[in-house]
Amino acid sequence: MQDYLPSVDFLIGGVVVGLILAGVSAYFKRRKLYIIVPKLFSHSELSSSGQVIELNVRNKGARTEEDIRVALNPKLSYEVIASTLPGLTVSHGGVIHIQRLSKSEEVSIVLTAEQGEFLQDSVLSISSKETKGEIKKKTQDAEDTTALEAAIVLTFVFLFMPAVGYFGGNIIMEEIVPKMNTEVERHQALKASLSDSGWDDINRFVDSDTFTSFGGEWPFNVSFPTRNGELLVFSITFKNKTAQVMEVSVYTRSVFDDKEFYRKNGYWPDDSVSSFLIPSGAEVQKSIETYLPYESENKVVRFDFFIETESNAFNPSYTWVFKGE
């Protein structure tokens, strides 16, 4: 049964081929909205002081175009005298509005232009609700996909696509997949190392887009404490390598209640830092005290971090355990 299973290279090559086919399909189904200015009549019985112009708007795409607007030189005065669609008019700003053109539908418009000379570049633009069209000077330029164009695409599909799929699959397998695997392995190793060091609730932060700014470096470091009587003093370093301002709060807890320290000394230990900001690219160091008498048998301190950026929030924690005598 295993012999009949396709290789990973084959599957990836198939995906590449599928993407190319989708691109070819999108190419042939692309929106193609054109306006052609093939005829300019300099003499007409309909207008003694102006010109008669014939415009041709064509939807050669595979989808219906709606709310089509043809912008003409606004310095001239226009009047529609004939069209293949009813109800077409020109606004005072020189804009012709066509409500809808179905696939492969076209409309011819004959109008007069006065108070100036109408040139082929007097057609400024054509657009619809979904696309910006093109101005063509020749009817041939707005024809459907030519036989030569179709032949080139089909030749590519049948002759070169298998090779593209094969080599594309190999490139993905040899270049991209190993890099992805290396990145995953690096993150897994970092998570394991942090967990062994006492960090917890770190997965969401390490797996986030925010952490990619740190280049794999853990941005927080809790140093070994110094003692100040019955207080342990920890120094914490914070690095912000993101492009955003970080807001950080840190709270500590030990096996002893701070109320006992307050009864003895009349003040509370400085066991937290709240809502301080770290600018992008900055490094900040803070000191935190926690009540933990020297004679305590269980020298354990927990740090709860609350980290916020403009786009995310994280809550890792760290447990410090004294393993000496």
Query: How far is residue 159's CA from residue 20's CA, in Å, rounded to a whole number?
Result: 13
Sheet of 33-41, strand order: 77-83, 106-114, 51-59, 33-41, 134-136
pLDDT tens, residue order, the chain (325 aa): 444 445 555 555 555 556 655 555 555 556 788 888 756 766 666 666 678 888 889 988 878 888 888 888 888 888 888 888 887 888 877 889 888 888 888 899 888 888 888 887 788 888 888 888 888 876 655 555 555 555 666 665 555 555 555 555 555 555 555 555 566 677 788 888 888 889 998 888 888 878 877 877 888 999 999 999 999 999 999 999 888 899 999 998 888 888 889 898 999 999 888 888 999 899 999 999 999 888 877 889 999 999 888 878 888 999 999 876 5
**Radius of gyration over every alpha carbon of the chain, rounded to an integer in angstroms:** 36
Distance of CA 128 to the CA centre of its chain: 25
The answer to whether 52 touches 44, Cβ cutoff 8 Å, is yes
The answer to whether 286 touches 224, Cβ cutoff 8 Å, is no
Domains, the chain, with CATH or none: 1-30+145-197 (no CATH), 33-142 (2.60.40.290), 199-321 (2.60.40.10)
The answer to whether 290 touches 269, Cβ cutoff 8 Å, is yes
Spell out the SS3 assignment of the chain.
Answer: CHHHCCCHHHHHHHHHHHHHHHHHHHHHCCCCEEEEEEEEECCECCECCCEEEEEEEEECCCCCEEEEEEEECCCCEEEEEEECCCCCCECCCCEEEEEEECCCCEEEEEEEEECCCCCHHHEEEEECCCCECEEECCHHHHCCCCHHHHHHHHHHHHHHHHHHHHHHHHHHHHHHHHHHHHHHHHHHHHHHHHHHHCEECCHHHHCCCHHHHHCCCCCEEECCCEEECCEEEEEEEEECCCCCCEEEEEEEEECCCHHHHHHHHCCCCCCEEEEEEECCCCEEEEEEEEECCCCCCCCEEEEEEEEECCCCEECCEEEEECCCC
Chain segment 51-93, per-residue pLDDT in tens = 888 888 998 887 888 888 888 888 888 888 888 888 788 887 7
> What is the pTM assigned to this prediction?
0.46
